[in-house]
Chain A
Amino acid sequence: MSKSVVVSLVCALMICGGCASMGVEPWERDVLARDEMQLTTDPVEAALDDHIYFSKEASSGGRGFGGGGCGCN
């Protein structure tokens, strides 16, 4: 694993350490509950994009599993 991945993971864990003090009360979720604030707003569009870029580039996934499942030319 490259050094930058390790550094990034450590940073993510440090951010996570501060997570307990972040957040909102249950009655403050009005904005977060909106469709446009979901991490994946449009799952079909996200899957199509993952598939296009999987076919044309050497990287895939990240958001979820690696996508793919094709012998793309």
Chain B
Amino acid sequence: MTGGTARRALWVGASFVLVFGIWEWAGRWPISPAFPSFSQTVLALGRMAADGSLARAYASTLQPLLIGVAISAAVGVGAGVAMGLSRSIEWLTLPLFVIAQAAPMAAIIPLITYMYGIGLTAKVLAVTILAIPVIAMNSYKGIRNTSPSLLEMCRAFLGTRRQAVWKVVLPYAAGLIFVGLRLGVAMGFIGVVIAELLITPTGIGDLITYHSSVADYPEMFAAIASIVALGALAVHGLQRLEQRLFPPEIRG
């Protein structure tokens, strides 16, 4: 380990200790009789991991999340690239994505139940309506931001339109498309938790609502903390992968 990375690790560690320390203090003070301390939450997480309820919950939550993210990636990248390459598709669909990105989705998700009921479809849909706009918008920007000098060079070498797209535009946009996918995964986590809290309580949403209804506040906080941690780790992992795969000038 070099001196730089060691120092960085130390700072990261110190930041965690500080946040968890404040949490522990706030729980012991307490800021509310229902607010558990960090240590109580960790113990509750241990109990839920030991009795298998956490694993069962994630097996259920990851299903709509993974299906939803896969659909969003395909539809989002496809729509973004199409909008980037064709003015008429851009004119037709861009406003939809701009509106979808700005709309308060927590207000819209309950409406899904009126159309798609309460099953897996409704939850997958909740993930996709949050994830697709951000993936599509980033892919679109990636295509549109292709360096004009590179395109000029392609034309100078008598490259065809197809060659320009496959050999210049897409590789250049790959960085931003990947950024979109990373943000899409983050939105997917938000979508699946909102769906599990607002549509029907299953998986991690069930753990949160059930433990809240029987006033097991440490367990409720542990369930929330675990999904936050998983979401953060997934997004961080994708960010590391992105840094490794793409040079900084095309990451946007």
Q: Do A and B come from one complex?
A: no
Name A residues whose Cβ lies closer than 8 Å to a Cβ of B: none
Name B residues whose Cβ lies closer than 8 Å to a Cβ of A: none
